[in-house]
Protein backbone atom coordinates (compact mmCIF):
# COMPACT_ATOMS: atom_id res chain seq x y z
CA UNK A 1 0.00 0.00 0.00
CA UNK A 2 2.71 2.47 0.95
CA UNK A 3 4.81 1.69 -2.09
CA UNK A 4 1.79 2.16 -4.41
CA UNK A 5 0.99 5.51 -2.79
CA UNK A 6 4.66 6.53 -2.96
CA UNK A 7 4.86 5.64 -6.66
CA UNK A 8 1.67 7.61 -7.35
CA UNK A 9 3.00 10.68 -5.50
CA UNK A 10 6.39 10.40 -7.16
CA UNK A 11 4.85 9.96 -10.60
CA UNK A 12 2.69 13.09 -10.19
CA UNK A 13 5.12 15.19 -8.16
CA UNK A 14 8.16 14.96 -10.44
CA UNK A 15 6.58 16.80 -13.39
CA UNK A 16 5.26 19.47 -11.02
CA UNK A 17 8.67 19.90 -9.39
CA UNK A 18 10.34 20.12 -12.80
CA UNK A 19 7.85 22.77 -13.95
CA UNK A 20 8.28 24.72 -10.71
CA UNK A 21 12.07 24.63 -11.11
CA UNK A 22 11.85 25.98 -14.64
CA UNK A 23 9.53 28.79 -13.58
CA UNK A 24 11.79 29.69 -10.65
CA UNK A 25 14.75 30.00 -13.04
CA UNK A 26 12.87 32.56 -15.15
CA UNK A 27 13.00 36.17 -14.08
CA UNK A 28 10.34 38.59 -15.28
CA UNK A 29 12.83 41.43 -14.77
CA UNK A 30 15.37 39.92 -17.17
CA UNK A 31 14.16 39.54 -20.75
CA UNK A 32 17.34 38.32 -22.44
CA UNK A 33 17.93 39.10 -26.11
CA UNK A 34 21.02 38.63 -28.29
CA UNK A 35 22.29 41.56 -30.33
CA UNK A 36 25.29 42.34 -32.50
CA UNK A 37 27.17 45.42 -31.30
CA UNK A 38 30.53 47.06 -31.99
CA UNK A 39 29.94 47.10 -35.74
CA UNK A 40 29.22 43.35 -35.66
CA UNK A 41 32.43 42.47 -33.83
CA UNK A 42 30.59 41.44 -30.65
CA UNK A 43 27.45 39.42 -30.01
CA UNK A 44 25.98 39.89 -26.54
CA UNK A 45 22.89 38.76 -24.65
CA UNK A 46 21.35 41.77 -22.90
CA UNK A 47 18.70 41.44 -20.15
CA UNK A 48 16.50 44.29 -21.43
CA UNK A 49 16.12 46.79 -24.26
CA UNK A 50 19.39 48.60 -24.98
CA UNK A 51 20.39 52.17 -25.68
CA UNK A 52 23.63 53.24 -27.33
CA UNK A 53 25.49 56.45 -26.56
CA UNK A 54 28.72 57.69 -28.13
CA UNK A 55 31.17 60.26 -26.79
CA UNK A 56 34.82 61.25 -26.89
CA UNK A 57 36.88 59.51 -24.22
CA UNK A 58 40.43 60.37 -23.17
CA UNK A 59 42.27 57.16 -22.37
CA UNK A 60 45.98 56.42 -22.14
CA UNK A 61 46.91 59.74 -23.74
CA UNK A 62 44.63 59.10 -26.73
CA UNK A 63 41.17 60.38 -27.59
CA UNK A 64 38.76 57.64 -28.62
CA UNK A 65 35.26 57.77 -30.06
CA UNK A 66 33.78 55.42 -27.46
CA UNK A 67 30.30 53.91 -27.80
CA UNK A 68 28.42 52.17 -25.01
CA UNK A 69 25.46 49.88 -25.67
CA UNK A 70 23.74 49.24 -22.35
CA UNK A 71 20.64 47.86 -20.66
CA UNK A 72 19.51 48.56 -17.10
CA UNK A 73 17.56 46.19 -14.87
CA UNK A 74 16.87 46.78 -11.17
CA UNK A 75 19.50 49.55 -11.00
CA UNK A 76 22.20 47.27 -12.45
CA UNK A 77 23.83 48.10 -15.79
CA UNK A 78 24.87 45.54 -18.40
CA UNK A 79 27.00 47.13 -21.12
CA UNK A 80 29.36 46.58 -24.01
CA UNK A 81 31.67 49.50 -24.73
CA UNK A 82 33.78 49.78 -27.85
CA UNK A 83 36.01 52.15 -29.77
CA UNK A 84 38.01 51.83 -32.97
CA UNK A 85 41.72 51.93 -32.20
CA UNK A 86 43.43 55.14 -33.33
CA UNK A 87 45.56 54.67 -36.46
CA UNK A 88 48.72 55.27 -34.40
CA UNK A 89 47.80 52.32 -32.16
CA UNK A 90 46.01 49.87 -34.48
CA UNK A 91 49.12 48.32 -36.04
CA UNK A 92 51.18 48.28 -32.85
CA UNK A 93 50.51 45.30 -30.54
CA UNK A 94 52.33 46.88 -27.58
CA UNK A 95 50.46 50.18 -27.94
CA UNK A 96 47.14 48.31 -28.27
CA UNK A 97 47.86 46.36 -25.09
CA UNK A 98 48.86 49.56 -23.28
CA UNK A 99 45.56 51.18 -24.27
CA UNK A 100 43.65 48.10 -23.09
CA UNK A 101 45.60 48.26 -19.82
CA UNK A 102 44.57 51.90 -19.40
CA UNK A 103 40.93 50.84 -19.86
CA UNK A 104 41.32 48.13 -17.20
CA UNK A 105 42.92 50.67 -14.84
CA UNK A 106 39.93 52.99 -15.39
CA UNK A 107 37.53 50.23 -14.30
CA UNK A 108 39.25 50.08 -10.92
CA UNK A 109 39.39 53.88 -10.68
CA UNK A 110 35.64 54.16 -11.37
CA UNK A 111 34.98 52.36 -8.08
CA UNK A 112 37.80 54.01 -6.16
CA UNK A 113 39.67 50.70 -5.92
CA UNK A 114 43.38 50.09 -6.31
CA UNK A 115 44.31 48.07 -9.38
CA UNK A 116 46.50 45.02 -8.77
CA UNK A 117 50.16 45.19 -9.80
CA UNK A 118 49.49 42.55 -12.45
CA UNK A 119 46.35 43.29 -14.43
CA UNK A 120 44.09 40.43 -15.57
CA UNK A 121 44.84 39.10 -19.05
CA UNK A 122 42.70 40.23 -21.97
CA UNK A 123 39.34 38.47 -22.00
CA UNK A 124 39.64 37.33 -18.37
CA UNK A 125 37.22 38.30 -15.61
CA UNK A 126 37.92 41.53 -13.77
CA UNK A 127 36.00 41.79 -10.50
CA UNK A 128 36.10 45.13 -8.71
CA UNK A 129 34.41 46.16 -5.44
CA UNK A 130 34.30 49.73 -4.19
CA UNK A 131 32.30 52.91 -4.01
CA UNK A 132 31.05 54.55 -7.20
CA UNK A 133 31.15 58.34 -7.05
CA UNK A 134 27.40 58.72 -7.61
CA UNK A 135 26.16 55.68 -5.65
CA UNK A 136 25.21 55.59 -2.00
CA UNK A 137 25.76 51.85 -1.54
CA UNK A 138 28.88 49.77 -2.07
CA UNK A 139 29.14 48.81 -5.69
CA UNK A 140 30.80 46.09 -7.69
CA UNK A 141 31.40 45.17 -11.28
CA UNK A 142 32.38 42.18 -13.33
CA UNK A 143 34.13 43.10 -16.57
CA UNK A 144 36.29 41.84 -19.42
CA UNK A 145 38.45 43.79 -21.89
CA UNK A 146 39.64 42.76 -25.36
CA UNK A 147 41.53 44.18 -28.31
CA UNK A 148 40.22 42.53 -31.48
CA UNK A 149 40.03 43.47 -35.16
CA UNK A 150 41.18 47.04 -34.62
CA UNK A 151 38.68 47.63 -31.82
CA UNK A 152 39.01 48.16 -28.05
CA UNK A 153 36.10 46.33 -26.40
CA UNK A 154 34.82 46.05 -22.84
CA UNK A 155 31.90 44.15 -21.34
CA UNK A 156 30.69 45.28 -17.91
CA UNK A 157 27.97 44.30 -15.47
CA UNK A 158 27.88 46.87 -12.66
CA UNK A 159 25.63 47.83 -9.78
CA UNK A 160 25.20 48.08 -6.05
CA UNK A 161 26.24 44.94 -4.19
CA UNK A 162 22.63 44.50 -3.02
CA UNK A 163 21.18 45.00 -6.54
CA UNK A 164 23.45 43.07 -8.92
CA UNK A 165 23.40 39.35 -8.23
CA UNK A 166 26.69 37.61 -9.10
CA UNK A 167 24.86 34.96 -11.13
CA UNK A 168 23.24 37.67 -13.30
CA UNK A 169 26.61 39.35 -13.89
CA UNK A 170 28.17 36.03 -14.89
CA UNK A 171 25.20 35.18 -17.09
CA UNK A 172 25.76 38.44 -18.97
CA UNK A 173 29.52 37.88 -19.27
CA UNK A 174 29.01 34.34 -20.54
CA UNK A 175 26.68 35.72 -23.22
CA UNK A 176 29.32 38.07 -24.67
CA UNK A 177 31.23 36.69 -27.66
CA UNK A 178 33.94 38.66 -29.44
CA UNK A 179 34.36 37.76 -33.12
CA UNK A 180 38.02 37.61 -34.01
Higher pLDDT pick, 84 / 1: 84
For residue 120, give the CATH number of its domain. Answer: 3.40.1000.10
* Residue 40 maps to a domain: yes
Whether 130 and 107 have beta carbons less than 8 Å apart is answered as no
**pLDDT class for 30, splitting at 50, 70, 90?**
confident
CA 58 vs CA 42, 67, 102, 106, 159: distances in Å: 23, 13, 10, 11, 24
Residue 24 within a domain = no
CA 174 to chain CA mean position, Å:
8
Number of domains composing the chain: 1
Task: Quick: pLDDT tens for 49-100.
Answer: 999 999 999 999 999 999 999 999 999 999 999 999 999 999 899 999 999 9
pLDDT of residue 8: 42
Average pLDDT, the chain: 87
Question: Does residue 93 form part of some domain?
Answer: yes
pLDDT for 100-133, tens place per residue?
999 999 999 999 999 999 999 999 999 999 997 7
Band of the pLDDT at 135, cuts 50, 70, 90? low
**Considering the domain boundaries, does residue 129 fall inside one?**
yes
User: Which domain range does residue 171 map to?
Assistant: 29-178
Model confidence, pTM: 0.82
In a domain, 126, yes or no: yes
Q: Considering the domain boundaries, does residue 11 fall inside one?
A: no
pLDDT of 1 = 45
Amino acid sequence: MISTLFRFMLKNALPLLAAASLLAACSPEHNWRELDVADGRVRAAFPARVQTETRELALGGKTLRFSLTAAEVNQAVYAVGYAPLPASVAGDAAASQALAGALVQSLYANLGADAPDTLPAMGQDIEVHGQAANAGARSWMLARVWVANGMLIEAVAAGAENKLAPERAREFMNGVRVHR
